[in-house]
Structure 1
């Protein structure tokens, strides 16, 4: 669903009563762990620092443009502002399309979710839009009244409508539960009289009823591994907002913000709309992704990105809801036409309005030697079974040759190496990369730990940019081949939740390569590639 970010990929409280334990992930991990080395640092990163220290010293590189197709990028962040792409053919602020590309004042990129009226923030899911579209035709129909050639479409509509109703009911139930839990915790904290109570404060609290006893027990347990603020904001407030957003916006048939853009949403071939506000109303996710790829490594600020000589081209196509195929296609084309050699896509959905239009854009990018990196998704789904869009498989046959699908891994080389939320697939996910508690840039020159395949994909996009900058003669297909061939194989059996059961599955069966990407190995291979 939407921007693939599992920092709140809600899996904690839904379906559990107050008698249950609310899980909260907070284990000590080393700073910059995604760039560390398993052997020397005991963290299953991608050996970026080792590569810089041992392989890249004194080597020259060329700048590479990496496009971030996302919800927005803070171009003024202290750790990003010097690596943001600048369109030198455009004069800032003159209200003219100086480079005649159809986009006025596109200095740092483009926003396909806005207009002079503003920018879309909340959106519906694709499922909601499909049901709304088909309601007009089939809302009052039944199997006996539908024409024979419409029967398949009618059956799909019925299936989609049932799924929407199911998801809405679950979201309303989750919202009700989280509201009750949030209220109960707020009441207890108010009685304790401290803004940020500790585990000891909850232990000293004297409950007056069963609800307060349950809250006391839960909080004492949770605050062993996290501060109150971390737990409350990361699980309670985030859970509340998650379900409220699903009910009010994502699954709401009556909600349609697209008029703000001013395009014809049904015309998927329309190209020229939007505005130049690449930050948009919520740049948290895209900024975080951008920092993982290329946050400045030498400024003694914040974090270190994977790549040291890339420019971030910001393209806003992903709202807080499902992205539209039209916007995805246009974003890919825009990034390609403006010189991107790597495109990061940390978004995804289970339904597609017009896959053909996206396929055409992907084929265009592939023809222009672009490597596309896509996050696998955060639903713990087997992508051999469940659909996930966009995808490299073309509707008319064939597969995109320069496309990598990325699952998320953790820092421990044990049965937990697969992030619990990460989608997987023996033939549909190519590699895994660090995606748990990744510290990166967020708006306002701040930094935050987030989880998700959204974080894993830019690790690979950063690696691709790094390879292409130091070995610019390599093609997108070459770089994909190098990244896949140079993984560190994972010799672990991992526990994967499937429905109500937990199964032990060899990590080798979770993706094509059976491993975690590795910058050191990849750069060594790149140096010898096709000599």
Structure 2
């Protein structure tokens, strides 16, 4: 396949896939907090709740843990809502409160040490392939017995998955890179970084590849206005994404764990990490934190769902898959240090040590914590597909009751309401919440639109915190019950994409409640609880 064909493949397939775009009308910034009846956008009616239900009411501060890739502690819209450990003295390198973590002023980072921070990691399936490879290298695979037979079959399946995914990532990266190189050459020939449409039209392509790139960019200019804006929105995200997949996510030889320096196989080890809760890439975690509790009264940026929260930053998720040991310790840390709500906008298809996470979840529930988890962005039915962590205990002892699983919805009340990328499940997902074109905080006191169930989960976490703030005597299970009972039920069918086919289903086939969370309804219902 020649370079031009590879470029076509990358641009036509890879970039739209990465963008997770939906064919819906653009909603205004903050639409997730609007009301369907009064504003015509299917938000969760946060502003209506403040206007009609909460004025003058007393409220107390609620700590919400954001277990994620890091939070920008200097952000203009977040710095005033950060959790501050009241018993810890910053910078003295002493564990003043004796919780096992010295100088944990705003939270803790479980994927770093004095050596630095983990930024990239492999996917869990890649790490499992590496472990299996080491195990079976010392065995005669022609004479396996007992459990090793099944393990070897699983190893071969995962090895094939990793090999295929790595090849696809490299191929797609090559295509995107070729497009980028051709575009750079055209711009160099024109002599401008941002030529206008007339200047682009005047350029005489020298190859079929240049013809295609010229046509593609010209077609994008009405939307993006400038060439650099198009490159920033479409080319560079794809370039970075597939480069990361090829070099880190599906690279069996890549293992950054030595940076952390822990005994990784010892799941009972708790005290490792460092104080850098921002880390090298806090984009995702900062965005999540802003949705939950960005300052509502400072006249800048955005407005979070909850008006009296403190964000506890627990850095756990690299670019790649989080590790079960770190997730378990992050949940324990949050629960032990006063979090009432934990947001978990992450997930993966394989689990290395589910028991460790399950035990941590049980600990958090014993502390009356409500856990909110994003359902995932693979457009899969999680009744049949694994998505970890999840509420089902591996030992068969039941499920985590104080847990809400969240799918993502769009702004328009029509067949497109289910976000095209969102996972779903009749019993495995509880509710849906806004997750398309959500504007929130990003590093450097900036703001950006992101898509994902990662954005839907914090809308629910913010609502849970709002309820617990105004009705502090309610238990985690009562708050969950209120959120689930107060959804806006969807009475019309919505589209679900199955491969090349589109089908329409009732919304109660996608989640247990059959609805979208609603702050106004939830707070009215909360007022009736004793």
TM-score clears 0.5? yes
Q: 1:43 to 1:354 in 2, by over 3 A?
A: same
Deviation of 1:189 after TM superposition, in Å, equals 3.2
Preserved CA contact (<8 Å) 1:200 1:220: no
Preserved CA contact (<8 Å) 1:199 1:224: no
Deviation of 1:242 after TM superposition, in Å, equals 0.6
Preserved CA contact (<8 Å) 2:122 2:255: yes
Preserved CA contact (<8 Å) 1:15 1:174: no
Q: Secondary structure at the match of 2:9?
A: coil
Determine the structure 2 residue equivalent to 1:79. Answer: 77
Runs of 4+ residues over 6 Å off in structure 1: 19-22
The structure where helix makes up a greater share of residues is 2
Q: 1:416 to 1:202 in 2, by over 3 A?
A: farther
Preserved CA contact (<8 Å) 1:18 1:214: no
Determine the structure 1 residue equivalent to 2:168. Answer: 170
Q: 1:410 to 1:48 in 2, by over 3 A?
A: same
Q: Secondary structure at the match of 1:213?
A: helix
**Structure 2 residue corresponding to 1:29, chosen from 27, 30, 53:** 27
Q: How far apart in 2 are the matches of 1:21 and 1:164?
A: 18
Q: How far apart in 1 are the matches of 2:415 and 2:284?
A: 28
Q: Secondary structure at the match of 1:528?
A: coil
**Pairs within 5 Å for 1:43-82:** 43-82=41-80
Q: 1:21 to 1:147 in 2, by over 3 A?
A: closer
**Pairs within 5 Å for 1:205-354:** 205-227=203-225, 228-354=227-353
Q: Where does structure 1 lack aligned partners over 5 or more consecutive residues?
A: 1-12
Deviation of 1:225 after TM superposition, in Å, equals 2.5
Q: How far apart in 2 are the matches of 1:82 and 1:339?
A: 18
Q: 1:197 to 1:385 in 2, by over 3 A?
A: farther
Deviation of 1:142 after TM superposition, in Å, equals 6.3
Q: Give CA deviations for 1:324-347 in whole Å, capped at 9, x if unaligned.
A: 000000000000000100000011
Taking structure 1 as the reference length, the TM-score comes to 0.93
Deviation of 1:17 after TM superposition, in Å, equals 6.0
RMSD: 2.0
Q: How far apart in 2 are the matches of 1:70 and 1:19?
A: 31
Determine the structure 1 residue equivalent to 2:526. Answer: 526
Q: 1:385 to 1:197 in 2, by over 3 A?
A: farther
> Does residue 132 in structure 1 map to residue 135 in structure 2?
no
Q: 1:18 to 1:254 in 2, by over 3 A?
A: closer
Q: How far apart in 2 are the matches of 1:311 and 1:76?
A: 14
Deviation of 1:80 after TM superposition, in Å, equals 0.8
Q: How far apart in 2 are the matches of 1:252 and 1:209?
A: 34
Q: Where does structure 2 lack aligned partners over 5 or more consecutive residues?
A: 1-5
Q: Give CA deviations for 1:177-236 in whole Å, capped at 9, x if unaligned.
A: 111222223233334443234555544544343323322332233333334444322221
Preserved CA contact (<8 Å) 2:9 2:172: no
Determine the structure 2 residue equivalent to 1:401. Answer: 401
Deviation of 1:20 after TM superposition, in Å, equals 7.5
**Pairs within 5 Å for 1:495-506:** 495-506=495-506
Higher mean C-alpha deviation, range 26-35 or range 511-520: 26-35
Taking structure 2 as the reference length, the TM-score comes to 0.94
Deviation of 1:144 after TM superposition, in Å, equals 2.5
